[in-house]
Structure 1
Amino acid sequence: MNRLTVALLAALDATLAVAIGIGVALVPLLALWALHFQLDVDPAALWRGAVDIWALGNGSSMRITLDTALVTQLGLPAGMEPFLVSLAPLAFTIGTVLFGLRTGARAARSTWWQGAVVLSVLVFALLSFLVTLTALHPAVRPSIVQGTLAPTVRFAGGVVVAALWVRFREQDAADPILDGLRAMRDRMPDGTWSMVVAALRGGALAATGLVAVSAVLTAILIAVGYGAIISLHESAQFGVLGGAIVTGAELLYLPNLVIWAMSWITGAGFAIGSGTAISPIGTLVGPMPAVPVLGAIPTGESPLGFAVLVVPVVIGFAAAVLLRRRLLVDLDGRGGLARLAVVGLGVGVTAGIIVGVLAALSAGAAGPGRLIEVGPNGWATGLWTTLTVGIAAVVGMAAGPTHLAEEDRLPELHAQPSGRGARDR
């Protein structure tokens, strides 16, 4: 394809990422507009609401200013100050990153891939800026800077990672950037590249395992607490349409709940309001927000107690055991206990960074007062994960011989693509 075609496709991908993201929020608002308000609402308000939801889901905070009549109707303190809402429904973040990965993978297969990557990110940033400007309103005001940069960073991360991954995996792809990366790899001391790759792969594997276990735990808690969730729905008297909207909103926040469960498993726990803590070590909660799905959160002491902390330990140990043989093969059968221990620590650090970032993204302010602090602490969650997974990964790396016999490593060496094994070592 020529450069013009590549540029148009990159711009189209970025435009679709923004349009579909906002459309997901706009469709239920249009249904509410037609079925409940009988088209008696300014359509511009629906557009602003959809953009606000999309921007919030991609990391932009919202400054909320309630008028006096609404404050009185809700029974809130008179003269209530404006407050921030920053608790992002991560379903939108996931969608933006996935669109970025798709765009990056498509761009990487073109001859002008660097330009396609840059152009797609610039178009996405421009569209994010423009739609944020259209959503400015005295009652709900998104941050222009955050509304532009936060979604763009998520999209750009997916684009760059996918593009570099696809290009780097294609050994015949000649490119100044990739040639520089390969030259840096070749200049590393013997075995260093294989150790770095193993640490990154093991950390990603451990973080994925924690997310998977947390998703199962979240499903179990929702099933067990289904009665409490239904009771909260009925007591709130949302009605059919209102109940459907609330349920849809809860589904958008479902990834947050999974990450909160992951933070609980690691031992760091999470908060539902300032001064609260829900963790295996201890639970301290106050009045819970009247959100039905929160009825699934156990507010008493955990019957499992400290036993749940064995989950990240087992996952870290398993990730190390699964990777150690491949690592020894890449090291030409000569691992050494010190090298294996360093890789184990690298697995813990990588998993801690991934889990800590996810925890930080899942937290934020959900309203005024106590609700300015909802979700896990990213630093604490990342540190707990690094310690538990890292120590277990070191033990897993050391659980076996540090060298492979010639006959044990020959099958793996012969199975590698031509030229790859020497470069990895």
Structure 2
Amino acid sequence: MKLPTKPRAIPMPLWLQGAFELGQAAVISALIVLIPLGAAWLTGGFAGRDALGTVQLAAQSWLVLHGVPLQLTLPEGGSSLLWAVPLGLTLIPFLLAWRAGRRLARASYTDQLWQALLGALAVYALFGFGAAYLADDGATSASPVAAACLPLIAAGAGMIIGAYREAGSWGRLIGVNLADWIATTSQSSRWAGSYVWSAVRAAFLATVSALGLSALLLAVALAIHWAAIATIYERLDAGIVGSAVITVGQLGFLPNLMVWSLAWSSGAGFALGAGSSISPLATTAGPLPAVPILGAVPSGPLEYGLVALAIPVAAGVLAGWWFFREGENHFDEWLQLKVSARWFTAAVSSVTLGLFVGVLAGVATALLALLSRASLGVGRFVDLGPDPVWTGLWVAAEVAAGVVIGYAAGPLLERESR
């Protein structure tokens, strides 16, 4: 009997493969942070730090990138909290975990993905715990528990979404087929579920549209104030590498600034330090830190600032029109069965839809506003960003009004012929 020329490959356990995939993502994200900081140190950008101090700064930056707050020990005594989530940079671990989730979904059988997820998240938590230990330089530290748990949010979300995109259905991942479960419910429940799901998607469309229009508004503001931004760059005189690091950091906070622009356009405004207020009516900011992108902050009263209030309303109009095209307003159909006055049922169903979609969009915007906030932990710069409650309320009211307008104008926009 002839022996095989190659030994048979022993399959890797799923928990070990998950640990390898997400451990790889943790290392790559750490290198993406460490390499620019190391380059800046080599060119004299951190004159007061040695090599170990630069590595500690990279560990602190990796933790901030994942939303972990840092405890600062102040020279005059006491302590403060530095907290910021650069949403643009947080996409790095999210996308790396998304890739890992796709690979793990291909390697897993139905209802076995949990094994890979468990091993992957355990390794990522261990990596965060080690980063907290390394980041402690005496003046700055992080809670080991927070460092182990908070990075799992971005990594876990990326893995689950990536695995779902690869598998194509939740039934393939968890063994439960949602379509089969819905098929066992009554027709009324299916109609109610279709109505709610369409309203959720309309709210998502309104939120994304409002963010997109706010991003356009931010781009216009950056273009108008480009001279002021360039002046701040010249005053910093950070050199080529230092300026590149500053620019990358600002790009990481660009999605945060998009949310701030949405808060500004809604009328709620945002703060750049305690006692400041930046809104469409006027700006009272006081002295700002030497961050180039803050040169785009408007100053004084704005003649056409109130025009920006149309952005959330326009997003609501688009969502209302989309809902009309979807044809899933089963609540309106139910009202017509109960009440014969069409003017009454049309008004009630449209207002109810507007309130429902507006509340959902307001909640989503409030969560984004909460994530976009920051605290430098120094002086008056402990309050940066929009107030989540007021931003959510303003956006909810404006989107609700837009949804009612868009749904009512749906027949006119479609130009349906009899």
Category of TM-score, reference length = shorter chain: 0.7 to 0.9
Q: CA RMSD in A?
A: 3.2
Contact 1:59/1:146, CA 8 A, preserved across alignment? no
Cα distance, 1:10–1:141 mapped onto 2, change above 3 Å: same
- Residues of 1 paired with 2:173 and 2:14: CA distance? 19
CA drift of 1:295 comes to 0.6
Partner in structure 2 of residue 61 of structure 1: 69
**Deviation for aligned residue 1:181:** 7.7
Q: Which amino acid aligns with 1:187?
A: T
CA change 1:332–1:106 in 2 (3 A) is farther
Distance (whole Å) between structure 1 residues aligned to residue 198 and residue 12 of structure 2: 40
Q: Map 1:34-73 to 2 at 5 A.
A: 34-36=42-44, 42-65=50-73
2:103, 2:397 → 1: CA distance?
38
For 2:389, give the aligned amino acid.
W
1:192, distance to aligned residue in structure 2 (A): 1.4
What is the aligned partner in structure 1 of residue 372 from structure 2?
A: 362
Match of 1:237 in 2: 237
Displacement of 1:227 after TM fit?
0.7
Q: How does 1:40-119 map onto structure 2 within 5 Å? A: 42-65=50-73, 79=76, 81-109=78-106, 110-111=108-109, 112-119=112-119
- Select 1:387's aligned residue among 388, 392, 397: 397
Greater mean alpha carbon deviation, residues 148-157 or residues 367-376: 148-157
Aligned equivalent of 1:309: 309
| Structure 2 Cα separation of the partners of residues 107 and 335 of structure 1 | 45
2:15 aligns to what? 7
Q: Where in structure 2 are the equivalents of 1:22-421 lying within 5 Å?
A: 22-36=30-44, 42-65=50-73, 79=76, 81-109=78-106, 110-111=108-109, 112-163=112-163, 169-170=168-169, 173=172, 175-176=174-175, 178-179=176-177, 182-183=180-181, 186-187=184-185, 189-328=189-328, 334=333, 337=346, 341-400=351-410
Relative to the length of structure 1, the TM-score reads: 0.81
**Residues 115, 391 of structure 1: alpha-carbon distance in 2 compared, 3 angstrom cutoff:** farther
For residues 70 and 319 of structure 2, what CA distance do their matches in structure 1 show?
40
CA distance in 1, matches of 2:160, 2:183: 19
Amino acid at match of 2:325: R
Q: Are the aligned partners of 1:59 and 1:88 in contact in 2 as well (CA < 8 Å)?
A: yes
Letter of the structure 2 residue corresponding to residue 57 of structure 1: L
Structure 2 unmatched ranges of 5 or more: 1-8, 336-345
Which residue identity is paired with 1:16? Answer: Q
C-alpha distance in 1 between matches for 2:159 and 2:11: 18
Per-residue Cα deviation, 1:91-113 (whole angstroms, up to 9, x for no partner): 23222333343344444443122
CA contact (8 A) 1:196 1:343 kept: no
d(CA) in 1 for partners of 2:283, 2:331:
50
Quick one: which amino acid aligns to residue 89 of structure 1? P
Question: 1:345–1:184: structure 2 CA closer, same or farther, 3 Å change rule?
Answer: farther
TM-score (norm 2): 0.82
Name the aligned partner's letter for residue 21 of structure 2.
Answer: D
Structure 2 distance, partners of 1:181, 1:116, is 25
Preserved CA contact (<8 Å) 1:33 1:40: no
Residues 107 and 347 of structure 1: CA distance in aligned 2, closer, same or farther (over 3 Å): farther
Decide whether the 8 Å contact of 1:259 with 1:358 is kept in 2.
yes
Deviation by residue 1:167-209 (Cα, 9 ceiling, x = unmatched): 5x53874854x24685267536241121122122111111111
- What secondary structure, in the 3-state scheme, does the structure 1 residue paired with 2:302 have? coil
In the TM superposition, residue 262 of structure 1 has moved relative to its aligned partner by 1.5
Whole-angstrom CA distance in 1 between matches of 2:180 and 2:94: 26
Equivalenced residue count is 390
SS in 1 for 2:357: helix
Partners of 2:162 and 2:54 lie apart in 1 by: 34
- Once residues 152 and 185 of structure 1 are traced to their aligned partners in structure 2, the CA distance between those partners, rounded to angstroms, is 35
How far residue 161 of structure 1 moved from its aligned partner, in angstroms, is 4.3
Query: Aligned partners of 1:125, 1:36: CA distance in 2, in Å?
Result: 33
CA shift for structure 1 position 116: 2.4
Q: Residues 201 and 107 from structure 1, CA distance in 2 versus in 1: closer, same or farther, beyond 3 angstroms? A: farther
Give the letter aligned to residue 219 of structure 1. A
Query: What is the aligned partner in structure 2 of residue 73 from structure 1?
Result: none
Alpha-carbon distance in 1 for matches of 2:47, 2:312: 52
1:57-100 C-alpha deviation (Å, 9 max, x unpaired): 22111122355xxxxxxxxxxx2543221123222322233334
* Stretch of structure 1 that moved more, 260-269 or 31-40: 31-40
Quickly say closer, same or farther: Cα 1:324–1:182, change in 2 above 3 A: farther
- The DSSP-based 3-state class of the residue aligned with 2:327 is helix
Instruction: Calculate percent identity across the aligned residue pairs.
Output: 31
Give secondary structure in 2 for the equivalent of 1:83.
strand
Question: What SS does the corresponding residue of 2:375 show, helix, strand or coil?
Answer: coil
